[in-house]
């Protein structure tokens, strides 16, 4: 097991009705109570920047719940955050923070809203263009406290240090990160997921699974516990996504998916392992050029990537995935001692089942279906390598490899 640092600071309030704790959390974690303004004798009512997306929270009542909990605070709003959040909104939000003496940012939504809020919160203290902090995370200094109210199970942004931002002018979608981005608190109410459109439930699950795959398909370092956690998350997604699709208000299914999303990407799943991610860098290029739903892009790329990298060196890991997650050859206690041929059958079956699972969840499974042709494949492959070092991945990939994988997705 490799050495690791595991840093957690988010105060998670999980369960139905947890919005009632918002008032307490805002009082506890705003920049005055945290002492970010230096010694202050008398704490004034905090100024809140409320950040949200295109309006789903107004239809399902979460907006009203939040306003009620925040009564007494001065509230400014930054709304209309789009999926694959754009830098323009972040510039707008940073300006609002400065002009309104904001003490805390409350994000209500999914990864797009929470990621926006993180960079806005840093922008409150940054004099230049916030895009600088996306290009270079060393430019991130002080960050206003952020509270996340989660409405979709997908990214894990509610408890992690990442933010992913798009600049459509330059066709760049880039991640940046800082420990200071980690939300101070997260309200995770599974009933908030009941109103999700089926495709968002499915795409969110594909994202959770992809985060897990990125950390599971790694060189063996003897991190048995971490790898077993990964398998549990994958099994949870496979068990509960179909239930949530059939019965959108099934609390048990939503609750398990919600907690799976948080745990898949709060750094717990990489404790003791290491190496670069692969499918995410590729998908980020698809989104940068075509603004597609992140989880859909991942579902399309993942099984093709798996097939492409399956070889004599990786077959054991894929067979382990097939046996432990999909219960292929479940009659065996262990796959130890199986021949390469037998392992290969399990591995291929596991990859096929992964693809069929995404399809059964209603995700379009080719680039052609979502309107992407081969015209920019080489460009996207080149950019993947330009922005990411994949030499340290489970299987290192070149630009040519990525072009081939993307062509398999057409
Ligand atoms: O905008 P509204 O109207 O709220 O609708 C949203 C949006 O259209 C809708 N939605 C969310 N909750 C809902 C709901 N509709 C009905 N009921 C609800 N309860 O869902 C749509 C998608 O929202 P979005 O925030 O974009 O989803 P997601 O959480 O999947 O976030 C995706 C973004 O996060 C980035 C992705 O690249 C993408 O930009 N990522 C962030 C990561 C991180 N911070 O660690 C890591 C990920 O790998 C990922 O890259
Ligand atoms: Zn993701």
Q: Which of 164, 198, 281, 384 to mutate to test the pocket of ligand 1 (most atoms within 8 A of CB)?
A: 164
Residue 267 has phi, psi (to 5 degrees) of 80, -5
Q: Which of 52, 87, 154 to mutate to test the pocket of ligand 1 (most atoms within 8 A of CB)?
A: 154
Q: What is the pLDDT of residues 18-47, one digit of tens each?
A: 999 999 999 999 999 888 877 666 668 899
DSSP label at residue 46: P
- Domain limit, last residue, from 192, 222, 249: 192
CA end-to-end distance (rounded Å), the chain:
39
Name the token pair of 394.
């489970």
- Tell me, yes or no, whether 188 and 203 share the same domain: no
- Residues contacting 95, CB < 8 A, separation 6+: none
Ligand 1 pocket, residue 105 CB under 6 Å: no
Residue 381 structural domain: 197-408
Q: pLDDT value at position 41?
A: 60
Q: pLDDT value at position 142?
A: 96
- Tell me, yes or no, whether 70 and 164 share the same domain: yes
Regions of the chain short of the pLDDT cut 70? 39-43
Q: What is the pLDDT of residues 5-17, one digit of tens each?
A: 999 999 999 999 9
> Does some domain include residue 313?
yes
- Tell me, yes or no, whether 231 and 150 share the same domain: no
> Does some domain include residue 2?
no
Ligand 1 pocket, residue 110 CB under 6 Å: yes
Q: Is the dihedral of CA 351, 204, 325, 384 positive or negative?
A: positive
Give the separation between CA 95 and CA 97, rounded to whole angstroms: 5
Beta strand 162-167 with 172-177 is antiparallel
Name the token pair of 203.
């795409």
- Domain limit, last residue, from 157, 192, 227: 192
Residue 158 has phi, psi (to 5 degrees) of -60, -20
Q: What share of the chain is helix, strand, coil (3-state, %, to 5)?
A: 50, 10, 35
Query: Does the interface predicted TM-score (ipTM) exceed 0.95?
Result: yes
Ligand 1 pocket, residue 151 CB under 6 Å: yes
Q: pLDDT value at position 42?
A: 65
Q: What is the pLDDT of residues 342-394, one digit of tens each?
A: 999 999 999 999 999 999 999 999 999 999 999 999 999 999 999 999 999 99
Give the separation between CA 298 and CA 210, rounded to whole angstroms: 7
- Domain limit, last residue, from 192, 220, 246: 192
Q: pLDDT value at position 348?
A: 98
Q: pLDDT value at position 37?
A: 77
Q: pLDDT value at position 35?
A: 84
CATH number at residue 34: 3.40.50.1970
């Amino acid at each position: 097991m490799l050495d690791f640092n595991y840093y957690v600071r988010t105060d998670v309030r999980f369960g139905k009705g947890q919005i009632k704790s918002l008032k307490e959390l805002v009082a506890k974690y705003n920049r005055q109570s945290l002492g970010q303004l230096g010694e202050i004798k008398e704490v004034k009512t905090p100024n809140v920047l409320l950040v949200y997306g295109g309006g789903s929270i107004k239809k399902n009542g979460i907006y009203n719940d939040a306003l009620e909990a925040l009564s007494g605070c001065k509230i400014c709003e930054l709304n209309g955050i789009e999926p694959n959040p754009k830098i323009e909104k972040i510039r707008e939000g940073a300006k609002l923070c400065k002009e309104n003496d904001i003490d805390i940012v409350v994000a209500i939504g999914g990864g797009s809203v929470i990621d926006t809020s993180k960079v806005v919160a840093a922008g409150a203290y940054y004099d230049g263009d916030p895009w600088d902090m996306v290009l270079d995370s060393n430019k991130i200094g002080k960050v206003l406290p952020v509270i996340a109210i989660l409405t979709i199970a997908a990214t894990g942004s509610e408890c992690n240090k990442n933010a992913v931002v798009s600049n459509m002018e330059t066709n760049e979608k880039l991640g940046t990160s800082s420990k200071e981005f980690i939300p101070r608190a997260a309200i995770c109410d599974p009933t908030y997921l009941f109103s999700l459109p089926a495709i968002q439930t499915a795409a969110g699950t594909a994202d959770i699974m992809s985060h897990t795959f990125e950390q599971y398909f790694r060189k063996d370092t003897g991190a048995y516990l971490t790898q077993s956690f990964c398998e549990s998350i994958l099994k949870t997604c496979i068990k509960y996504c179909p239930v949530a699709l059939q019965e959108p208000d099934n609390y048990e299914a939503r609750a398990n998916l919600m907690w799976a999303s948080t745990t898949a990407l709060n750094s717990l799943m990489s404790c003791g392992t290491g190496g670069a991610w692969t499918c995410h860098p590729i998908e980020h290029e698809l989104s940068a050029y075509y603004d597609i739903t992140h989880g859909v892009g991942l579902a399309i790329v993942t099984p093709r990537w798996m097939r492409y990298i399956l070889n004599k060196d990786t077959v054991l890991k894929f067979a382990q995935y097939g046996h432990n997650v999909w219960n292929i050859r479940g009659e065996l206690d262990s796959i130890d001692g199986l021949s390469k041929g037998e392992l290969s059958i399990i591995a291929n079956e596991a990859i096929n089942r992964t693809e069929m699972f995404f399809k059964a969840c209603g995700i379009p499974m080719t680039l052609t279906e979502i309107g992407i042709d081969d015209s920019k494949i080489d460009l996207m492959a080149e950019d993947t390598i330009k922005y990411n070092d994949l030499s340290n991945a489970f299987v290192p990939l070149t630009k040519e490899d990525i072009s081939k994988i993307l062509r398999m997705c057409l």
